[in-house]
Amino acid sequence: MTSRTFQYIAPRSIGVACAALSLVALAACEKTTPEPEKVTAAASPAPPPSQTAPPSPPETTKPPEPPQPAQIPAPTDVGKPPADAKKTASGLATKVLTKGTGKDKPKAEDKVKVHYSGWTKDGKMFDSSVARGQPAVFGVGQVIKGWTEALQLMVVGEKRRLWIPAALAYGEQAGMGAPAGDLTFDVELLEIMQAPKPPEVPKDVKAAPKDAKKTASGLSYKVLKKGTGKDHPTAASRVTVHYSGWTTDGKMFDSSVMRGEPTSFPLGGVIKGWTEGVQLMTVGEKTRFWIPAELAYGEKPMRPGAPSGMLVFDIELISFQ
């Protein structure tokens, strides 16, 4: 998926580069997202001399404008859903434009491939995978609320029009270049990529067992699988890991395993329990950590959506540098 696609669809409150990252990695991403490099254009080479020099163009002549992406015409009902549109309890309105050929519907943890175009209420197109000629792929649960809800109503091959209220999109005062207010999308579901089965909830999720080791900070841990490496990362290292996290009642709140791809981030930019714990590991090792609230997000997290209290993580260290 292109960065532009993520800018308009995926992030709810974070930057483009951080859109796909999880809670534990988000702090690192916010700290380390690089500024774009400034590029100084090289001087154009002089044209080869010719026997008969062409006349100089008038000073008022402008170079041709670069080609613009094709604009997809706005639907006639872009500003308001018609009477035959179906409305959900959240305020989302949808209408099936083309019936699908599939039977299964995606779940929040699945990934999907879609074609789409989006307009503001006044008919201005702000994004379109159709215009780019490339479908978008992303997690159903990683996008704005209106998309997450609507996609779970669809089957493969179906094309549906969505009227998404501002509260389920980017809000009335959207930032970071995202469109504000109510939005209208035409979405075609091309493919569902089902997520892997969720990891089993640890039997000792409520409290660290007696054979777990405990550090001076209060962090408890137990090695589940020994590593093949000898060196340990430092707080300055960038690590690549697979992980799953649960609250003490056994609810999984995040998992790179479920997303089907490991996560990389600077170790010094995440929660304290991770910074300390991963430094105890070697490459190939899988360890369970019981992280007290003061080393995680606290009993009353300031970050919206962050889990509270003690957290349990299974972490596998894949590599570091």
Q: Which CATH code fits 86-193? A: 3.10.50.40
- Which of 224, 245, 229 has its CA nearest to residue 307? 245
Tens digit of pLDDT per residue, the chain (321 long)?
Answer: 333 333 344 333 333 333 333 333 333 343 332 233 333 333 333 333 333 333 333 344 445 554 455 789 999 999 999 999 999 999 999 999 999 999 999 999 899 999 999 999 999 999 999 999 999 999 998 899 999 999 999 999 999 999 999 999 999 998 888 999 999 999 999 999 988 888 999 999 999 999 999 999 999 999 999 999 899 999 999 999 999 999 999 999 999 998 888 999 999 999 999 999 999 999 999 999 999 999 999 999 988 889 999 999 999 999 999
Kindly state the DSSP code that residue 184 receives in the 8-state scheme: E
Q: Is the pTM of this model over 0.75?
A: no
Q: Do domains 86-193 and 213-320 have the same CATH topology?
A: yes
Q: Which CATH code fits 213-320? A: 3.10.50.40
Give the whole-angstrom CA distance, residue 304 versus residue 297: 10
On the CB side of 150, CA atoms within 13 Å amount to 33
Domain ranges of the chain: 86-193, 213-320
DSSP conformation letters of 208-259: --TTSEE-TTS-EEEEEE--S------TT-EEEEEEEEEETTS-EEEEHHHH
Where in the sequence numbering do the catalytic residues fall?
Answer: 243, 253-254, 271, 297, 313
- Assign 168 to helix, strand or coil: helix
The answer to whether 179 and 126 have CB atoms below 8 angstroms apart is yes
Task: Give me the helices (H) in the chain, please.
Answer: 3-8, 23-32, 129-132, 145-151, 256-259, 272-278
